[in-house]
C-alpha cells in the first residue's frame, strides 16, 4: 500500500532555514502548513509544493491557535511540527532603545516555541515529533548579543523540559542547535563565520535529526566540538577571549 504523505507544520517558513525546510519536505510530497509574517515571501516558499500558508507572528498566541486549528481542519494532526521562526539582532542593556528589542527577541525565540507547539499537543499521536531550533549562541553569553544568547539558552532548556513531559505519550522533542547558516539573518554579521552551512544543507541535516528522533544535536559536527570547548572554558579564559569580539549590529527586528 502507498505510504500516506507526511503532515509537516513549519514556522519561520518565509525565509532562511524555515523556507529551506519547506522545500526539503515539499520535495518529499509532504502536506505542509507554512507560517510566516510576510505573505509574498511565504507564497514564494510554497510555490510548486503541497502547502497551506498562514500569515501569523509566532509572538501572537491567538494567531498561532488560529493557524494550527486551520491546518488540523484542512489536513489533520501533524506528524512533525518545526519551530524555526526566530529573531537575531544585537542588543545592549545600557541602551534604552534596546528594551523593546529584548522583548521581541525573547518573545519570538522562547514564547514562540510554546505558541507553536501548544495548539497541536492534544491532537498529536504517539510517533509525532516536535522540533525546536536553538543555536550554538546559547552555549555561552556573547557580548552585544545578550537577548539572542539568553533566548537560545532558554529555548534549549525549555525544549528539554518539554521532551521529558512528552516522552510518556511517545512524542519526540528534537532540539537542533545550528552554528552559522547562510541566511539574511547572518549576512549582516561583520565577522568571520566558520563552518557556515548553506540553508539547504542545514535543512537536510535538521530533517535527518528529526527522522532519527535525536534529543539534541549541534550542526554541523564541527560546531559541536566548538560548543563543547566553549562550555568547558574557565570564566577568566572565556572573558579574555570574547570580551572584545566583533558584535552583531543592533537595530529593531523586522
Catalytic positions, written as ranges: 148
**Sheet containing 7-11: which strands, arranged edge to edge?**
51-55, 31-36, 7-11, 80-83, 129-133, 172-178, 216-219
Phi, psi of 54 (to 5 degrees): -130, 110
Phi/psi region, residue 144 (left: phi>0; alpha: psi -120 to 50; beta: rest), is: left
Query: Rounded CA gap, 197 and 209, in Å?
Result: 16
Here the cell at position 133 is 531550533
Query: Rounded CA gap, 1 and 30, in Å?
Result: 17
- Other Cβ atoms less than 10 A from the Cβ of 228: the count is 11
Alpha-carbon separation of residue 113 from 157, 161, 197, 239 (angstroms): 12, 12, 23, 31
Determine the distance from the C-alpha atom of residue 10 to the mean position of all C-alpha atoms in its chain, rounded to a whole number. 9
Query: Which among 2, 4, 42 is positioned nearest to 23, based on CA atoms?
Result: 42
Determine the distance from the C-alpha atom of residue 66 to the mean position of all C-alpha atoms in its chain, rounded to a whole number. 20
Query: Which among 81, 111, 76, 108 is positioned nearest to 172, based on CA atoms?
Result: 81
Overall residue count recorded for the chain in this entry: 254
The answer to whether 113 and 159 are in contact (CB under 8 A) is: yes
Amino acid at each position: 500500500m502507498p505510504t500516506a504523505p507526511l503532515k509537516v507544520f513549519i514556522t519561520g517558513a518565509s525565509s532562511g532555514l524555515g523556507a529551506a525546510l519547506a522545500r526539503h519536505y515539499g520535495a518529499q510530497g509532504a502536506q505542509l502548513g507554512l507560517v510566516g509574517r510576510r505573505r509574498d515571501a511565504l507564497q514564494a516558499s510554497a510555490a510548486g509544493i503541497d502547502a497551506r500558508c498562514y500569515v501569523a507572528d509566532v509572538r501572537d498566541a491567538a494567531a498561532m491557535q488560529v493557524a494550527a486549528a486551520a491546518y488540523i481542519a484542512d489536513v489533520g494532526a501533524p506528524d512533525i511540527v518545526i519551530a524555526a521562526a526566530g529573531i537575531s539582532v544585537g542588543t545592549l542593556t545600557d541602551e534604552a532603545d534596546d528594551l523593546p528589542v529584548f522583548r521581541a527577541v525573547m518573545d519570538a525565540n522562547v514564547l514562540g516555541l510554546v505558541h507553536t507547539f501548544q495548539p497541536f499537543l492534544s491532537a498529536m499521536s504517539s510517533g509525532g515529533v516536535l522540533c525546536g531550533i536553538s543555536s550554538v549562541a546559547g552555549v555561552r553569553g556573547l557580548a552585544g548579543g545578550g537577548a539572542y544568547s539568553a533566548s537560545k539558552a532558554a529555548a534549549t532548556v525549555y525544549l528539554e523540559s518539554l521532551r521529558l513531559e512528552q516522552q510518556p505519550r511517545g512524542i519526540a522533542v528534537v532540539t537542533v542547535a545550528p552554528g552559522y547558516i547562510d541566511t539574511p539573518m547572518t549576512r549582516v554579521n561583520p565577522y568571520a563565520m566558520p563552518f557556515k552551512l548553506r540553508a539547504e544543507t542545514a535543512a537536510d541535516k535538521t530533517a535527518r535529526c528529526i527522522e532519527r528522533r535525536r534529543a539534541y544535536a549541534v550542526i554541523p559536527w564541527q560546531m559541536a566540538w566548538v560548543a563543547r570547548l566553549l562550555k568547558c572554558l574557565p570564566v577568566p579564559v572565556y572573558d579574555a577571549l570574547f570580551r572584545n569580539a566583533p558584535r552583531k549590529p543592533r537595530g529593531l527586528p523586522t
